[in-house]
């Protein structure tokens, strides 16, 4: 009888002792390791503030971190050459065959630019994929859905077996490190300028051992962008952005990426006096009253493919009073039909030319991202 | 009608008029009062955008009055019918059905354009609401007890919420945020056609509610007494479900789910005017609800939309409901 009574206690103790699996092991921090033998291209970071590359004896430590006052986060990953990564806390060996799982399709664009799109094995939001090759891979289960809504699915990512999972810093998921999957915070979208955001391609280049290609890609695009920027006139013309939702009209902060892009195209932000790093809320009628006087109105939104100026006015007749609408200076980027959030990140030079064409600074150009609304 | 009740009703009408006027003249865009009156009178304006702003303010003021009044009346009728002072427009599940319909469109990412998307929300919301309403009306024919109907309504609320939770899980961040913002409630953004439609869905059922005066007065003493004085309970129940359902559904579809007005206002009014006669109560409660609606909208606008509508109605309504519950415990609450 005593044995029967004590059985549950004994069972509980056994479960406690046997049920815990220790995932940790004695691993060494990158900074305390001795020199390794390898020759790699050292990349310099000129624009991006969200990551840095620390070279030590041809190995690289990637550090990603917050850089504005609104958020605090940081992450790191050691990229180790010619030796095992087992002795490191968080490390990978760079490889052209490195298997990636990505939270964002923007990350996939970086991989594609380096010819490494086949390295993708898991993605959040496969239903939004439009690329036919990728869609085929999804159908054949070579690329799997790893998220449910905005949350990571543990079994899905374990099935995908990525070497590294690239994710945003602000999700409240479980930590993939707990299931022995390397992860790295990628926050290219927090950068304030198009070139800073583009420069994240160097991080991807380091991960897959294509530093030279990444550096070349960046140099080619950035040189063209800077050259275009120098040739841009300062119009002294103003612009407003976005569309309202109910009574709220969120304008981007004056020091945001999209406003800086427009500034590089020679336009002045109507709400430049609004300080801050987050979107600024304006009541709709305030924008009707003052923002409607801006020379240009730039809209980045999803609409049907044949969306035109009349349909914009039909959404709210008050738009008829806007100077930009009267003068047909509404510049529109239809995110439903153009890859603004994916490929667009890697082509700021094209975006700049689109804007220069829309504002009459450039002739003979076929716009891809931004067009005047007819 | 007692003199005090008349005075109270007149004061409410004056207060509503005053607050509508204030809602017209204050705002982020500074428009001279003379220009506002000129625009309202149909005259041209120096600034071409001012007529749109004034029209926008007028529309949302009228929406606030209609929505507040409609929800309050709906709440009053349901509180009498269920003999529960905490019953409100949401208990039958009709507003949840409307939320589900809108949720399918927003969370499901079904979007045509902002122009047609708005229509899609309304149509989907009405389909959701009317489906629940039709189900309730069908079931009510087999149910004798009002409490049973209340429980069925609550279960429909849980069911629709469960479906919305599934939609949340698969929606992306943008759609989730849009639906959350919709759920905060707003009197903003109704076009002339929307306003006409909302007015029809509120005023016509309200007029129909005036035919419920005798049954409601009888139901105050319980369904058995009401039956004994000739009230046809089955027909009354159907009419109540229909009237309150249509009012609540239409307001939810156009303004989002608005909380507390339907529960708190009838209780407040009963404390002020003592008559049990629903011929007077219905009118006064409508006016009181309208006043609360326009007051809440004014507060929202004064805070430059930093306080959502449901936050304001909760800040006002929640203390009233707590007070009601305390009074109930002391057995002083009236239904």
Cβ A122 vs Cβ A146: under 8 Å:
yes
The minimum CA-CA distance between A307 and chain B, rounded to whole Å, is 9
Q: Answer whether residue A300 shows pLDDT above 80.
A: yes
A288 vs B49: CB contact, 8 Å cut-off?
yes
- Residue A217's pLDDT is what? 96
Please give the Cα distance from A200 to A206 (Å, whole number).
Answer: 10
> Chain A residues with CB-CB distance to B under 8 A?
125, 128, 148-150, 243, 245-248, 281-286, 288-290, 292, 301-304, 307, 311, 314-315, 317-318, 320-321
Q: Is A346 helix (H, G, I), strand (E, B) or coil?
A: helix
User: How far is residue A277 CA from its own chain's centroid?
Assistant: 17
Burial string for B238-251 (b: 16+ CB within 10 Å, else e) reads: ebbbbbbbbbbbbb
Q: pLDDT at position A22, please?
A: 46
Tokens standing for A251?
A: 């304008």
pLDDT score of B12 more than 70:
yes
CA–CA gap between residue B277 and residue B284 (Å, rounded) = 11
Give all domains of chain B, ordered by start, each with its CATH number: 3-329 (1.10.3470.10)
**What does the alpha-carbon distance between residue A84 and residue A79 come to, in Å, rounded to a whole number?**
11
Q: Which residues are CB-contacts of A353 (< 8 A; sequence separation ≥ 6)?
A: A228, A362, A365, A367
- The partner residue sitting opposite A125, judged by closest CB among B172, B181, B188, is B172
Residues A324-348 have pLDDT tens digits of 999 999 999 999 899 999 899 999 9
Q: How far apart are CA A64 and CA A185, in angstroms?
A: 7
Top residue of B113, B174, B306 to mutate, by most chain A CBs within 10 Å, is B113
Nearest CA in chain B to A245: B178
How many residue pairs bridge chain A and chain B with CB atoms within 8 Å of each other? 78
Q: Which of A181, A307, A252, A52 is nearest to B115 (CA)?
A: A307
- Residue B101: the pLDDT is 93
Residue in chain A lying closest to B178 (CA): A245
* Predicted local confidence at residue A19, as pLDDT: 55
| Each residue's pLDDT tens digit, B48-83 | 999 999 999 999 999 999 999 999 999 999 999 888
CATH topology of domain A30-222: Rossmann fold (3.40.50)
Instruction: Compare all CA atoms of chain A with the CA of B186 and give the residue at the minimum distance.
Output: A246
Provide the mean pLDDT of chain A: 86
Higher pLDDT, B288 or A92: B288
B56, A281: Cβ pair inside 8 Å? no
How many other CB atoms sit within 10 Å of the CB of residue A327? 10
Would the pLDDT of A181 be above 70?
yes
Which residues of chain A form CATH 3.40.50.1980? 30-222, 233-372
pLDDT at B331 over 80: no
How close A192 gets to chain B, by Cα (Å)? 21
CA quadruple A85, A88, A93, A97: dihedral, nearest 10: 80
3-class DSSP string for chain B: CCHHHHHHHHHHHHHHHHHHHHHHHCCCCCCCHHHHHHHHCCCCCCCCCHHHHHHHHHHHHHHHHHHHHHHHHHHHHHHHHHCCCCCCCCCCCHHHHHHHHHHHHHHCCCCCCHHHHHHHHHHHHHHHHHHHHHHHHHHHCCCCCHHHHHHHHHHHHHHHHHHHHHHHHHCCHHHHHHHHHHHCCCCCCCCHHHHHHHHHHHHHHHHHHHHHHHHHHHHCCCHHHHHHCCCCHHHHHHHHHHHHHHHHHHHHHHHCCCCCHHHHHHHHHHHHCCCCCHHHHHHHHHHHHHHHHHHHHHHHHHCCCCCCHHHHHHHHHHHHHHHHHHHHHCCCCCC
Give the nearest chain A residue to B182 (CA atoms).
A246
Strands A330-334 and A371-372, how do they pair?
Answer: antiparallel
Test A125 with B113 for CB contact under 8 angstroms: no
Confidence of residue A224 (pLDDT cuts 50, 70, 90): very high
When scoring B52, B170, B296 by the number of chain A Cβ atoms within 10 A, the one with the most, hence best to mutate, is: B52
Tell if the CB–CB gap between B28 and A314 is shorter than 8 Å: no
Q: Is A122 helix (H, G, I), strand (E, B) or coil?
A: strand
Distance (Å, whole) CA B59 – CA A369: 37
- Give the list of residues 6+ apart from residue A86 with CB closer than 8 angstroms, or none: A27
Least confident span in A154-158, A272-276, B123-127, B174-178: A272-276
Q: Are A253 and A242 in contact (CB under 8 A)?
A: no
Sheet (strand A120-123) strand order: A144-145, A120-123, A100-102, A164-167, A183-185
pLDDT tens column, A9-65: 777 777 776 555 444 444 444 444 444 334 467 899 999 999 999 988 778 899 999
Mean pLDDT lowest for which of A229-238, B20-29, B215-224, B231-240?
A: A229-238
Mind giving me the DSSP string for A195-255? HHHHTTHHHHHHHTT-HHHHHHHHHHHHHHHHHHHHT-----EEEEE---BTTEEEEPPTT
Closest-CA distance of chain B to residue A221, Å: 31
Question: Between B52, B113, B114, which is nearest A288 by CB?
Answer: B52
Question: A369 near A275, Cβ under 8 Å?
Answer: no
Can you tell me the distance from the alpha carbon of A355 to that of A259, in angstroms, rounded to the nearest whole number? 12
Considering only CB atoms, B49 lies closest to which of A148, A283, A321, namely: A321
Taking CB atoms and an 8 Å limit, are A285 and B57 in contact across chains?
yes
* Residues 6+ away with beta carbon under 8 Å from A103: A124, A147, A152, A165, A166, A167, A168, A171, A186
Indicate yes or no: CB of A247 within 8 angstroms of CB of B181. no
CB atoms within 10 A of CB B147: 12
What pLDDT, on the 0 to 100 scale, is given for residue A198? 97
**Residues in chain B whose beta carbon is closer than 8 A to a beta carbon of chain A?**
27-30, 47-49, 52-53, 56-57, 111-115, 168-173, 176, 178, 181, 186, 188-189, 301, 304-306
Q: Looking at A4-8, A78-82, A176-180, B77-81, which range is the least confident one?
A: A4-8
Instruction: Name the residue in chain A with its Cα closest to that of B55.
Output: A318
What pLDDT shows up at residue A2? Answer: 63
φ/ψ of residue A73, rounded to 5: -160, 160
Q: Who's near A91: CB < 8 A, 6+ residues apart? A: A30, A77, A78, A79, A80, A85, A182
Q: A233-372, superfamily in CATH?
A: Nitrogenase molybdenum iron protein domain (3.40.50.1980)
What the block records as the tokens of A273 is 């006096």
- Residue of chain B whose alpha carbon sits nearest to that of A318: B52
Whether the Cβ atoms of residue B311 and residue B317 lie closer than 8 Å to each other: no
Q: Say yes or no to pLDDT of A373 above 90.
A: yes
Q: Tell me the two tokens of residue A12.
A: 């509980």
Q: Given this model, what pLDDT does residue A28 score?
A: 42
Pairing of strands A100-102, A164-167: parallel
- For residue B114, pLDDT over 70 is answered with no
DSSP H/E element including A69 = none
| Chain B residues lying within 8 Å of A286, measured CB to CB | 28-29
Q: Chain A: give the shortest CA distance to residue B172, in Å.
A: 6
Cβ separation of A285 and B29 shorter than 8 Å? yes
Q: Average pLDDT in the B138-164 region?
A: 87
Mean pLDDT value of segment B5-10: 91
Buried b (16+ CB within 10 A) or exposed e, B73-94: bbbbbbbbbbbbbbbbbbbbbb
Helical H segments across chain A, by residue range: 2-19, 105-113, 132-139, 154-160, 194-198, 201-207, 211-230, 257-264, 284-289, 309-315, 323-326, 348-358
Angle at B202 between CA B199 and CA B206, to 5 degrees: 130
DSSP 8-state symbol, A90: S
Q: Do B170 and A307 touch (CB under 8 A)?
A: no
Q: Which H or E run contains A117?
A: none
Estimate to the nearest angstrom the gap between the alpha carbon of A174 and the chain centroid: 21
């Amino acid at each position: 009888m005593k044995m029967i009574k004590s059985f549950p206690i004994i069972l509980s103790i056994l479960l406690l002792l046997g049920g815990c699996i220790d995932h940790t092991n004695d691993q060494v921090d990158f900074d305390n390791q001795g020199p390794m033998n390898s020759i790699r291209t050292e990349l310099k970071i000129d624009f991006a503030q969200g990551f840095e590359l620390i070279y030590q004896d041809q190995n690289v430590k990637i550090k990603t971190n917050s850089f504005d006052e609104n958020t605090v986060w940081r992450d790191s990953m050691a990229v180790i050459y010619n030796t095992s990564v087992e002795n490191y806390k968080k490390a990978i060996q760079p490889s052209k065959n490195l298997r990636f799982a990505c939270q964002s399709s923007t990350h996939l664009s970086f991989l594609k630019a380096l010819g490494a799109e086949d390295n993708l094995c898991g993605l959040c939001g496969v239903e939004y994929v439009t690329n036919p090759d990728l869609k085929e891979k999804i159908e054949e289960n070579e690329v799997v859905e790893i998220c449910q809504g905005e949350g990571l699915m543990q079994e899905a990512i374990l099935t995908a077996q990525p070497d590294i999972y690239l994710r945003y810093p602000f999700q409240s998921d479980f930590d993939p490190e707990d299931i022995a999957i390397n992860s790295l915070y990628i926050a290219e979208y927090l950068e304030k300028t198009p070139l800073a955001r583009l420069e994240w391609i160097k991080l991807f280049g380091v991960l897959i051992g294509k530093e030279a290609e990444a550096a070349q890609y960046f140099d080619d695009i950035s040189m063209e962008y800077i050259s275009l920027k120098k040739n841009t006139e300062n119009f002294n013309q103003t612009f407003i952005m976005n569309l309202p939702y109910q009574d709220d009209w969120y304008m981007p902060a004056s020091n945001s990426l999209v406003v800086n892009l427009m500034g590089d195209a020679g336009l002045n932000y109507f709400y430049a006096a609004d300080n801050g790093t987050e979107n600024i809320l304006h009541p709709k009628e305030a924008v009707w009253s003052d923002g409607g006087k801006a020379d240009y109105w730039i809209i980045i939104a999803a609409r049907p493919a044949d969306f035109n100026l009349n349909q914009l006015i039909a959404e709210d007749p008050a738009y008829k009073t806007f100077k930009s609408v009267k003068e047909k200076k509404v510049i529109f980027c239809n995110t439903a039909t153009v890859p603004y959030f994916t490929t667009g990140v890697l082509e700021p030079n094209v975006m700049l030319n689109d804007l220069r064409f829309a504002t009459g600074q450039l002739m003979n150009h076929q716009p891809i991202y931004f067009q005047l609304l007819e | 009608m007692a003199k005090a009740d008349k005075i109270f009703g007149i004061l409410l009408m004056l207060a509503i008029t005053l607050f509508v006027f204030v809602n017209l003249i204050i705002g982020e865009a500074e428009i001279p009062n003379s220009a506002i009156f000129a625009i309202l009178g149909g005259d041209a304006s120096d600034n071409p955008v001012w007529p749109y702003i004034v029209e926008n303010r007028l529309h949302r003021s009228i929406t606030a009055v209609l929505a507040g009044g409609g929800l309050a009346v709906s709440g009053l009728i349901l509180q009498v019918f269920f003999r529960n002072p905490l019953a409100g427009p949401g208990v039958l599940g009709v507003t949840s059905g409307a939320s589900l319909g809108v949720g399918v469109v927003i969370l499901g990412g079904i979007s045509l354009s902002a122009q047609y998307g708005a229509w899609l929300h309304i149509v989907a919301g009405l389909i959701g609401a009317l489906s629940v309403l039709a189900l309730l009306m069908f079931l009510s024919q087999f149910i004798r007890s009002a409490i049973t109907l209340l429980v069925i309504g609550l279960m429909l609320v849980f069911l629709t919420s469960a479906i919305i939770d599934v939609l949340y899980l698969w929606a992306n961040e943008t759609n989730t945020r849009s639906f959350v913002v919709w759920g905060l409630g707003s009197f903003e953004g109704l076009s002339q056609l929307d306003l006409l439609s909302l007015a029809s869905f509120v005023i016509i059922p309200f007029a129909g509610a005036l035919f419920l005066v005798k049954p409601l007065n009888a139901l105050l003493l319980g369904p058995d007494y009401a039956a004994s004085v000739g009230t046809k309970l089955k027909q009354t129940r159907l009419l109540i479900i229909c009237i309150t359902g249509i009012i609540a559904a239409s307001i939810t579809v156009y303004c989002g789910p608005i909380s507390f007005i339907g529960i708190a206002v009838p209780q407040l009014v009963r404390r002020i005017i003592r008559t049990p006669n629903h011929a007077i109560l219905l009118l006064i409660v409508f006016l009181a609800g309208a006043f609360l609606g326009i007051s809440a909208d004014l507060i929202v606008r004064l805070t430059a939309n930093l306080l959502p509508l449901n936050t304001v109605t909760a800040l006002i309504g929640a203390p009233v409901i707590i007070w009601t519950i305390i009074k109930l415990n002391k057995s002083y609450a009236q239904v």
